[in-house]
Amino acid sequence: MGNGNTESTVQTSHVIPSAEVKDMVSYRVQHNKILEIKKLPTLPDIAYRLLDVLSQGDPDLAELEEIIRYDQAITAKVLSVANSAFYALQREIDTLHRAIVALGAREVGEIAFSICVFSVFRPLKSVGGFDLKEFWMHAIGTGITARILAQALDREDEEKYFTLGLMHDIGRLILLMVFPQEFEAILEQRQISGRSLLTEEKEAGLAHTWVGRWLLKRWELPEIFSIVARYHHHPFHKGHFLFEPALIKLADLTAHQMGIGNLPVGPLDDPSPILKRLGLNEDLYQAVQDHLVLIKEGIKEAWGQLL
C-alpha cells in the first residue's frame, strides 16, 4: 500500500509464523500439561463437511441439505432460528429445504456449523465473571460483523469470515475446560488490576491466543483458523500486516463496542490503525456500526435460542 508505511501487508494463509519456538519455550509447562490430557473435545464429522461446503464461493443447496437432513437435532434448531423474528419471513418454515431456500445455503450452513461447535462445549459451565452464553453471543456477533466488514471491503473471499470470527476466542473455552482454577484466578486478577484479560492470561502463562491456535491445529482445520486465533490481538506482526487477523480484530472490537456479548475483556484498543491499513474509511465504518445497531437485538433473539 502506498502510504509510506514500512510494514508489508500479508495474506496470512501463506504466513509461516516465525516466533513459534519462543512461544513453545514461554508456554512449555502449560503446553506439556495440555498434551498430557487424555480427553480433548473433538469436532463432529458433520462440522468438517459443512466447513467444506461453506468454503465454496456459492454453496450447493442440495449438497448442504444432504449433509444436514439426517441430523434431527441440527435440523430442528435451524428451523427454530429460521422462524425467529430476526428473519421476518412471511410464512412458517417447516422443512429444511424451505429454510435453505428462504435464508440461503450459506446462512443455513453457518447456523448448522455453529450448532456443531456449540455442542462440543455444551458440558462446560459458566464461572464467576465469565458467562458462556455471553461468550458465544460475542463469538456470533464477531462472525457476523466480520462478514459485514468483508462485504464492505468487497472481499472476494468474504465467505470465510463468519467462521473465522466464530472461532477466534476458542482458546478461552479450553482454559475453562482444562485449567478452570487458573482461569478463575485470571478473571479475579483482571477485576483487581483493571488490565486486559489477555494481559492477565499472559502473566499466568495461559494466553488464549496460543491455546486456541493449538486446539485448531489439533482439529486439523485450515491453517488460517489457527493463524487468526494466534494473531487476532496482534495483526501487526514483525513488520507484516496480517489481513485476516486484522479484520477479525476489528470485528471483535466492534462487537464489543456494540454490546454483542458482555465479556470481561478490559480496555479496548483503538481501531484507527486497523481501519487505516484495511482501507476502510470512517463513513463506511460508521455505516457498518449503524447497521449493527439495527440488527443486534435480532441477532440476540435468533441465535440466543441455540445457546
Task: Average the pLDDT over 73-95 and give the result.
Answer: 91
- Whether 3 shows a pLDDT value over 60: the answer reads no
pLDDT in tens, 126-146: 998 899 999 999 999 999 999
Bridge-based pairing state of the strands 240-242 and 236-237? antiparallel
258 near 289, Cβ under 8 Å?
yes
Q: Which CATH superfamily is domain 8-41+128-304 in?
A: Hypothetical protein af1432 (1.10.3210.10)
**Residue 15 pLDDT:** 46
Distance between CA atoms of residues 233 and 269, nearest Å: 9
Distance between CA atoms of residues 243 and 246, nearest Å: 5
> Among the listed ranges 84-88, 148-152, 296-300, which one has the minimum average pLDDT value?
84-88
To the question of pTM greater than 0.95 for the whole model, the response is no
Domain extents in the chain: 8-41+128-304, 43-120
Please state, rounded to an integer, the average pLDDT across all residues of the chain.
88
**For the chain, how are helix, strand and coil distributed in percent, rounded to 5?**
65, 5, 35
- Whether 11 shows a pLDDT value over 60: the answer reads no
| CB-based burial, 118-138: b 16+ in 10 Å, e otherwise | bbbbeeeeeeeebbbebbbbb
